[in-house]
């Protein structure tokens, strides 16, 4: 009888923990995320960013396509707050890559959350869970004329 109770208790515990786990994928505004004081200070103006199909000038040199995959603590934060924070982290990584490669822009930036490539001029995809939020981006590092 004790073993049946133990098995039931373990089963209930496993079911309840999976009930609390979530991975909600949402779209968030690029403009809102880039308009924060943190974003302005950390991204600066040395590197230009173009999302989705936004038009940009002629490419002088293409350094290739690069990806980011960032996660952040989402505990006790709204999904929007966590997603904008982790988006900024991904953007900083793209900026740093562009600087290392010698580029002055990152173009055709797309979301690539869990391998689902999404192109938008205005929004990015973010997965928000109970404890973590994640953003994955891809973009081409280039030098624009």
- For residue range 74-125, what is the model confidence (pLDDT) as tens digits? 999 999 999 999 999 999 999 999 999 999 999 999 999 999 999 999 999 9
Give the pLDDT confidence of 3-49 residue by residue, as tens digits.
665 554 454 444 444 445 788 999 999 999 999 999 999 999 999 99
What residues does 93 pair with on adjacent strands? none
Beta strands in 34-122 (DSSP E): 48-51, 59-73, 105-113, 116-118
What residues does 116 pair with on adjacent strands? 113
Q: Is the pLDDT of residue 62 over 70?
A: yes
What residues does 110 pair with on adjacent strands? 138
Average pLDDT of the chain to the nearest whole number: 91
Give the pLDDT confidence of 77-91 residue by residue, as tens digits.
999 999 999 999 999
- Separation of alpha carbons 142 and 144, rounded Å: 6
pLDDT at residue number 3: 62
Q: What are phi and psi of 6, to 5 degrees?
A: -65, -45
Cα angle value 136/87/24 (rounded, 5°): 65
pLDDT at residue number 22: 83
Count of CB atoms situated within 10 Å of the CB of 112: 19
Encoded tokens for 60: 């002088």
Domains (range + CATH), the chain: 22-144 (3.30.110.70)
């Amino acid at each position: 009888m004790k073993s049946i109770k133990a098995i039931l208790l373990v089963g209930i515990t496993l079911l309840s923990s999976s009930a609390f786990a979530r991975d909600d994928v949402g779209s968030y505004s690029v403009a809102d995320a880039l308009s924060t004081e943190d974003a302005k200070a950390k991204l600066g103006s040395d590197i230009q960013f173009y999302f989705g199909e936004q038009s940009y000038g002629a490419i002088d040199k293409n350094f290739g396509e690069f990806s980011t995959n960032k996660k952040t603590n989402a505990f006790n934060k709204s999904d929007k707050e966590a997603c904008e924070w982790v988006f900024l982290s991904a953007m900083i990584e793209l900026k740093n890559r562009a600087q290392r490669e010698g580029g002055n822009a990152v173009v055709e930036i797309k979301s690539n959350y869990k391998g689902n490539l999404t192109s938008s001029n205005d929004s990015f995809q973010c997965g928000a869970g109970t404890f973590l939020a994640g953003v994955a981006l891809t973009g081409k590092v280039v030098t624009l004329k």
